[in-house]
Structure 1
């Protein structure tokens, strides 16, 4: 054999050796993409966080490598043939085969597991728990286009000016543009007209209302405390005022977070910062006769913990109260480490010896200051008696606002593990600490330290979770579809590069400014695309996850109501203040014992925006519930949009929509000219910012004549058009 042949044989031999020791394949198995789904589906039910049969768990790495009770090792890294796991999944013996009560693994799944073990059985960290990194930052459109090209798609053309105007107005303020705003924008020839429009919308006082409405679902905001009696919380609306003001002032999101979770613990906190802590006083409270105060205090603390992790970490902590997480690496004890951060707070609804704070909302304070200044300017012209009456009015107290307070010194509570989640069965004592699957906290062991840890740049979840929430509000779907679950059972992002880019931008370049983040999104080519769909898009991207077209989905309950009121001219644009009671069918509150009566608001308050509607948990406002507003007993990250006949019955027959139809009809006849077609065009433009085409106008004319000239019926149809109920 010559030297050349010997070398060739040697090279082949080395290649074959490398091939076999690497799991019979040169291709490395991806744990997160290939192995984890197999384990989650087939193994963790019995060998995970809830159960560890035979002392084996595949959830925590150190346990997966240890010998089970049988003395055998399920996984021997580097050697699949000696791994009991492989023997069991290949076995045909009913007493040995795994999984025992499910379909056996496919040959492909078994091959993946064998290769993975032979390659060293490395457990990789779930993508969401790794800090986002972008080597060369691009922009929103570049990341979207990269994904589109991979899937054989391209951007759609830009939407019309009328469509963009309505879309961005609703997205940023929750309200459609007025006729005057429409004309101004359509006639604006400035190349920066659209950006100028965006800036104006971001500075609108209605911007804060729109985003407060979104946050109220997360805060489980309600004007009552829940449970059977569902007693009223008459001053909790001041927290809603704080929210609106915070969004309007573009309070940086890190401060927004800290103030809501721990504003009372800041050095020399302002009234606003203390008021913000009402976020966690939205928990349900039961003080009915025969209840145990401690039981419901514990329930409130657990709710605060679960809500905080869902809102800021996209993590489902609720199940860890009773056992380790079934799918994510969170141990049972770690739930109570986190619980300790919230356990030292006072719930003044349950502790009558703790005084309630008297606070004013930002709007109240501004109004009182203005009024006081006006009074001082005319003081010389007023009688002493009148001055005294006015002075008493100006100094009126705002009323008790439920807030968070912290126990100190000897009154501090000790936290213990609840055995199997039972608050009456106490286990080991624990101290406040963060879960091991995330970077450790370097802050104080109280709510303030926990809040600072959440918005620390080292936390990989917070910025991802938050930008995903705001993206979903704009596009209808999050980049991670499961807003509430960034864990291993959540849906993986369709475009992780884009998500990570936005997360890093939000923290660093935008410095936690939500207005800057939203402006970047709505100025993108991705956002400005037409939402018109074709067969190719339906086939390749039915739900628009790839973003090859603009967003199109049904508006929220609040949007639909507010839009009808704006078009009709009934809308009250008053901002801030107590909850109001618009028209509601008689008897709705009769399901609750010992309740106040629902008295319809007057003087225009019945036509205020939907977010101001009085919200009673046991009997929430019916028309909004029909359009999927949650009852707000618990935090809800994502409203699931439904499509039912009841929704059409609401928009056709609910007193609010009937009144709006009548008022819109009157506007059409008094403002739309003397000719029928002119009036119909005017009404159409009021609701859709554009005139109808000839075919639609013909249909509207026909409808008017067949309904014996009932313009209110035509107006009702306009408010029920698919284009009006949908955002496109």
Structure 2
């Protein structure tokens, strides 16, 4: 199909009478407030005349405030009369003591002229783009000669045409297979997938593999990591004591929700207010663990109310960061410095979350839900069914001893206590007050549940509690939730968001590189796909934009070095979890075991000795040492070393975007961490079974890891490393100790070194 894009702008309007101001012909053009005026205000004025400070009782944060009389009794802005406006007089004042801004350089002539033109045109305020409901480009579907047409590509190509660039050719089948598999399931592709795509690289065959990967249980394990960063999921409580907490059942719920393709609106409501749904299921109660992931301080001598308040504040900030992409922490103390959210509106939203009955005292948190592992849950259900059938059929006396044994067996099944959310009874509801300058002990006026006036109100009929709050977030009128979520998913696939600042959709964040595309996807996802995440991901990965080669041309290097215009395919380093999982997968060590309590793979001794309490890292045994990284135990004060080395967060707070770093410590980790040595050893064992010729062994190892044959130069370098290592291990026991090896087998040990080198290549730890 062919899609014709109609312009969103079409901004023509009647200009003010020429006699109002004197200017050249270029100033007759209508001033764009968001593009031209807001950057000047935010960059030069708002720090003294905004949400934090209102010097001279003049604020530019809200239109109504800017038009009021200031402390001097004058109007800072008089629409249509720039020369009479005190703001213009002060920014053009000849006396440096009177000129604004008081510090730093004066506004440029161009900036002054822009402000004058804007005021003379009526000083019309405009909402920041992200606070305006999406208004996508008008799409007219017509017949096209291209059977592979994807709406995404038309938006991208339109932008490329603007900057004089062409899209790159499609990536090779093996590169695309690896990219797709890593993105959707977090693991390398199967041999079958690569061979099939090499034999048939049609879009239809590619789509078959997209569907298979989306249906894989590994899909949920991969995408859960993104959400667990947002949910600040961890296995400990945080703060100094950082004691253990049973939260793994919530993590399992997230994995299963992704695999079941739960619609995002339902996914949202169950996590924020599952307990307030009619007759909530056990799974819906487990989902509310989202906001029990807050850090809690149960040390002796602390004020319980202080840390309860801290948890509620964190819930407010997290809710806004996750669903609205707006930074809210600063509004605890004052109105937002840049965005239209007032100080009291923060506490109105706080009131939604201020009436849960959670207590985080030691040793027992409440409320909690008893939960079981999947295996024990099945046993429990089977035993209970047997007991129920015996009691229903009679003959209890004859089976008394067996019945007692079954009841004892039932008692012996280990349950875990998962903290959940539960609302206070109506008569126990707390009052909510504005905290003066953010101090929880200094109360201002009482407030009631509500949302900021700059955004749509709660949907009609929604209750003014957490459930209503959740319904508001996923209502069709909310302009942010769909945009923020679409952008987050896009960033996971393409390496960066359409809005680069995923965590900040406010006026200080980056503008979208493709605003029409973002709006079109947001509306299409909600209205047509009904919040279906898998359908949205499929739309993205089916696009030619996603399937491009990541090789950069000279022209693209000059015009689009950071790939903002998407002139080529994505190329980014894998996440901490993906690097570990991929090493275990290609070596054959990765355990397929899913769900259950967190595991403790090997980590260097002494890591936990610096932590306050006496908890110990007890290294897991058997296949639990080689499970997917999403199941690794996370202690906030001492995160798993190789995860934090590759930019994994400590999960103390909500993390919207991991910032990739490139440090020598990362190479040292993949060269020396026991899990990577074990993976290299396992690969060496498998290569010894392939052939007794080093060239063939190395070629096979390269193909297993990089999914192509090595070049002649690469093979020569690896053969040289093999021969050097073999000689070293033939004559030195010290070499064995350096690799923590015990077997005097020069060939195997040399192959271990080579396998380790292969898995340290940029091509192995990077998606391209």
TM-score between the two structures when normalised by the length of structure 1: 0.94
2:307 and 2:38 map into 1 onto residues whose CA distance is 38
Mark the CA change 1:355 to 1:54 in structure 2 (over 3 Å): closer, same or farther: closer
> Which of residues 422, 432, 448 is equivalent to 1:405?
422
Alignment of 1:215-226 (within 5 A): 215-226=227-238
Match of 1:432 among 449, 456, 460: 449
Distance, in Å, in 1 between the alignment partners of 2:556 and 2:407 is 66
Q: Which residue of 1 aligns with 2:511?
A: 492
Q: Does 1:325 align with 2:336?
A: yes
**Structure 1 residue 162: Cα displacement:** 0.3
Distance 2:15 2:55 in 1: 41
Aligned to 2:393: none
Residues in 2 aligned to 1:596 and 1:16: alpha-carbon distance in whole angstroms: 72
* 1:724 is aligned to 2:736: no
The corresponding residue for 1:703 is 721
- Counterpart of 1:28? 30
Q: Secondary structure at the match of 1:528?
A: coil
Is the partner of 1:444 in helix, strand or coil?
coil
Partner of 1:246: 257
Q: 1:249 to 1:32 in 2, by over 3 A?
A: same
Relative distance call for 1:366 and 1:350 in structure 2 (3 A) is: same
CA distance in 1, matches of 2:121, 2:15: 16
Distance 1:564 1:393, change over 3 A: farther
- Take 1:366 and 1:130, find their aligned partners in 2: how far apart are those partners? 49
| Whole-angstrom distance in 1 between the partners of 2:201 and 2:666 | 40
Are 1:620 and 2:636 counterparts? no
Distance in 2 of aligned mates of 1:316 and 1:533: 35
Asked if the contact 1:589–1:597 (Cα under 8 Å) also holds between the matched residues in 2, the reply is: yes
Change beyond 3 A, Cα 1:165–1:385: farther
Aligned partner of residue 601 in structure 2, secondary structure:
coil
Which residue pairs with 1:81 in the alignment?
83
Q: How far does residue 357 in structure 1 lie from its aligned partner after superposition?
A: 2.3
Do 1:341 and 1:447's aligned partners in 2 also have CA atoms closer than 8 Å? yes
- Compared with structure 1, are the counterparts of its residues 405 and 717 closer, same or farther at alpha carbon in structure 2 (3 Å cutoff)? same
Cα deviation, 1:605-628, whole Å, max 9, x if unaligned, reads 010011110000011101110100
CA contact (8 A) 1:23 1:119 kept: no
CA distance in 2, matches of 1:176, 1:72: 67
Q: Which residue of 1 aligns with 2:551?
A: 532
How many pairs align? 712
Residue 593 of structure 2 corresponds to: 574
Tell me how far apart the structure 1 counterparts of residues 414 and 344 of structure 2 sit (CA, whole Å).
44
Q: Tell me, in whole angstroms, the C-alpha distance in 1 between the residues paired with 2:609 and 2:637.
A: 11
Report Cα offsets for 1:467-510 as digits up to 9, x if no partner. 00100100110000001100000000000001001101110111
Measured after TM superposition, the shift of residue 134 of structure 1 is 2.1
After superposition, what is the alpha-carbon deviation per residue over 1:231-263, rounded to whole angstroms, capped at 9, x for unaligned? 100x20000000000000000000000000000
Taking the aligned partners of 2:604 and 2:422, their CA distance within structure 1 comes to: 40
1:620-659 to structure 2, matched below 5 A, reads 620-659=639-678
What is the match of residue 685 of structure 1? 703
| 1:534 Cα deviation from its structure 2 partner | 2.3
Structure 2 matches for 1:291-310, cutoff 5 A? Answer: 291-310=302-321
Over the aligned positions, Cα root-mean-square deviation in angstroms equals 2.5
Q: Is the 8 A contact 1:23 1:118 kept in 2?
A: no
| Closer/same/farther in 2, CA of residues 236 and 52 from structure 1, 3 Å limit | same
* SS of residue matched to 1:245: helix
Determine the structure 2 residue equivalent to 1:7: none
- Distance in 2 between residues matched to 1:365 and 1:465, nearest whole Å: 37
The verdict on how the C-alpha distance between 1:22 and 1:452 changes in structure 2, with shifts beyond 3 A counting, is farther
In the TM superposition, what is the alpha-carbon distance from 1:16 to its structure 2 partner? 11
Are 2:220 and 2:255, in contact at CA under 8 Å, matched by a contact in 1? yes
Q: 2:630 aligns with which of 611, 614, 622?
A: 611
Asked if 1:148 corresponds to 2:142, the answer is: no
Give the unaligned 5+ runs of structure 1. 1-13, 378-382
Displacement of 1:294 in angstroms is: 0.1
Rounded Cα–Cα distance in structure 1 between residues aligned with 2:382 and 2:664 = 49
Q: Which residue of 2 aligns with 1:712?
A: 752
Distance 2:379 2:587 in 1: 29
Structure 1 239/122 Cα, relative in aligned 2: closer, same or farther at 3 Å? same
Larger deviation, residues 419-428 vs 83-92: 83-92
Aligned mates of 1:114, 1:172 — CA distance in 2: 52
Q: Distance in 2 between matches of 1:694 and 1:387?
A: 71
Equivalent pair of 1:57/1:63 in contact (CA under 8 Å): yes
* Residue aligning to 2:729: none
**8 Å Cα contact 2:20-2:80 kept in structure 1:** no
Closer/same/farther in 2, CA of residues 89 and 361 from structure 1, 3 Å limit:
farther
CA distance, structure 2, for counterparts of residue 301 and residue 706 of structure 1: 60
CA contact (8 A) 2:289 2:418 kept: yes
The range that moved more, 131-140 or 191-200, is 131-140
Matched, 1:107 2:109: yes
Q: Per the alignment, in what secondary structure is the counterpart of residue 604 of structure 1? A: helix
DSSP 3-state at the match of 1:417 = strand
TM-score scaled by length of structure 2: 0.89
Question: Partner of 1:124 in structure 2?
Answer: 126
Matches of 2:139 and 2:54, distance apart in 1: 44
Distance 2:220 2:71 in 1: 58
